[in-house]
Amino acid sequence: MTTENIRTYDVVVIGAGPVGENVADRTTAAGLSTVILESELVGGECSYWACEPSKALLRPALLRADAVHVPGLDPAVKNPLDVEAVLAHRNRMSADWKDDGQVEWLKSAGIELLRGHGRLTGEREVAVETPDGDTVRLRARHAVAVCTGSRAALPPLPGIEDLRPWTSREAASAQQAPERLVIVGAGVVGVEMATAWQALGSRVTLLARADGLLPRLEPFAGELVTERLREAGADVRFGVSVVGAERVGDGEVRVTLSDGGEITADEILFATGRAPRSEDIGLDAVGLTPGDWLATDDSLTVTAVAGNWLYAVGDVNRRAQFTHQGKYQARVAGAVIAARAKGDQLDTGRWAPHSSTADLEAVPGVVFTDPEVASVGLTVSEAERTGRAVEVVDYEIGHLAGALQYRPDYRGRARILIDRDRQVVVGATFVGPGVGELLYSATVAITAEVSVERLWHAVPAFPTISEVWLRLLETRRDS
């Protein structure tokens, strides 16, 4: 690299998704000159093809599912959703796939944007291929943060290139509802998109390889979601995978299943996991393998590269693939980069500002289905796998006055896990309409390490679903 055409900044951030934006915000606020690179739209997957559009599709579906069960309100919502209006709302919530607003925000925060595809070319060096074919060379005085995110992973199915399947991107941005939609995969994306498109008029078939939905969560979560999806008319099948799929004559998809069955549909969505966007970012130039997830320590520093200058933040490090968790990591990484730039010692204790420990102990996540699933911390199977001695307390949320006020046919369950030695909550799962908003209370209980005895003095209001906390404590006392 010759010096004359190299631009130097304190920090170079590759990828302007929610995570890259937040790293850049923190380093800029700390007085470090920062450039952020983006090859598509500023705002990343979350704004245009993931969180925002998917939740805009789901909100009307979930609200209607609640409303049809509320006496007096049911006649007002007996008609199906207005699909055109929902899709138009979704388009607005995705900013019509334009990033002007987010570009303005970068400007207002003092962050320099460079459009183009970034690749590492050596220690603290990045080359950017700009949309007009130029190459801009960058050098970072202190840090390069890789925030390139993840993309949908497709299974190695023969002929998949010609199949033109939906991935999460098409499922979140489609401009009309397919008449028949096959969804492969029973994780969060699969069940959320099944819920949305079934409510928008598609006939959904959801195929799960395992014997339940949402296999990483408490089993009762998948069971309750399965019940409601089936009641809504979706065909949910377990223990089955796709062994072949092709587009036939008139554009239909013919799907062959492992149990010998066949399904014909208009679209097929593979919601079969994520892959890192790291195959073409120059990892080989710094001794790493293209296409790998980037492993980091709790300071978000890439462990396999010496010198504490390379960071991987957000989906690409695979620690906890949520926007909120990536933004938390971004706050940590920003603080670490600024501290190292100033020569300060890192404070790396538990829950310290330079340590991304929430990734390991308290990751909150909501699945926006009917019923909602909200979880944070350990599940029973994780506690067993990691040898943690826990007490498990369950409560049927539908017994609460607040739940019956919310929706008279309320079905739901709560579970907390209490660490036997420390007597603090280490895991919580709530399943039921409206439980997403309960999750922060559980996250605070876990991260603040509130003793179970002390929780008796956190009085939940009557009649709300948050009374589930009191019932869980009473159930434990009486058992």
Ligand X SMILES: Cc1cc2nc3c(=O)[nH]c(=O)nc-3n(C[C@H](O)[C@H](O)[C@H](O)COP(=O)(O)OP(=O)(O)OC[C@H]3O[C@@H](n4cnc5c(N)ncnc54)[C@H](O)[C@@H]3O)c2cc1C
- Site residues, ligand X (CB under 6 A): 14-20, 37-40, 44-46, 50-51, 54-55, 117-118, 147-150, 168, 172, 189, 277, 281, 314-315, 321-324, 326
For 373, phi and psi rounded to 5 degrees?
Answer: -125, 125
Q: Say which residues have a Cβ less than 8 Å from residue 253's Cβ, sequence separation at least 6.
A: 163, 165, 182, 245, 246, 247, 264, 265, 266, 267, 268
Nearer Cβ to ligand X (14/310): 14
Min dist CB 423 to ligand X, Å, is 30
Nearer Cβ to ligand X (139/467): 139
Nearer Cβ to ligand X (18/212): 18
Rounded-to-10 torsion of CA 158, 162, 163, 165:
110
Exposure string for 421-446, b = 16+ CB within 10 A, e = fewer = eeebbbbbbbbbbbbbebbebbbebb
Min dist CB 225 to ligand X, Å, is 16
Min dist CB 149 to ligand X, Å, is 2
Min dist CB 317 to ligand X, Å, is 9
Min dist CB 204 to ligand X, Å, is 15
Give the Cα separation of 194 and 213 in Å (integer).
11
Nearer Cβ to ligand X (155/460): 155
Min dist CB 256 to ligand X, Å, is 26
Q: Say which residues have a Cβ less than 8 Å from residue 133's Cβ, sequence separation at least 6.
A: none
Closest CA to 316 of 128, 44, 47: 44
Nearer Cβ to ligand X (44/432): 44
Q: Are strands 267-270 and 390-396 parallel, antiparallel or unpaired?
A: unpaired
Angle (CA) 47 319 368, round 5°: 45
Give the Cα separation of 224 and 376 in Å (integer).
18
Min dist CB 448 to ligand X, Å, is 22
Closest CA to 144 of 360, 377, 308: 308
Min dist CB 322 to ligand X, Å, is 3
For 361, phi and psi rounded to 5 degrees?
Answer: -120, -25
Cα–Cα distances in Å, from 191 out to 213, 225, 399? 8, 8, 26
Which spans in 259-357 are helix H?
Answer: 323-342
Min dist CB 388 to ligand X, Å, is 25
Min dist CB 432 to ligand X, Å, is 18
Give the Cα separation of 1 and 455 in Å (integer).
60
Q: E strands within 203-251?
A: 203-207, 235-237, 242-247
Nearer Cβ to ligand X (51/337): 51
Min dist CB 288 to ligand X, Å, is 14
Decide: 178 and 266 in contact? Cβ < 8 Å: yes
Q: Summarize the chain as % helix, strand, coil (round to 5).
A: 35, 25, 40
Nearer Cβ to ligand X (365/433): 365
Decide: 415 and 392 in contact? Cβ < 8 Å: yes
Decide: 430 and 400 in contact? Cβ < 8 Å: no
Q: Say which residues have a Cβ less than 8 Å from residue 477's Cβ, sequence separation at least 6.
A: none
Binding site, annotated residues: 55, 118, 148-150, 185-192, 273, 315
Binding site, annotated residues for NAD(+): 185-192, 273
Nearer Cβ to ligand X (18/433): 18
Binding site, annotated residues for FAD: 55, 118, 148-150, 315
Nearer Cβ to ligand X (269/465): 269
Nearer Cβ to ligand X (28/150): 150
Decide: 428 and 442 in contact? Cβ < 8 Å: yes
Nearer Cβ to ligand X (69/293): 293
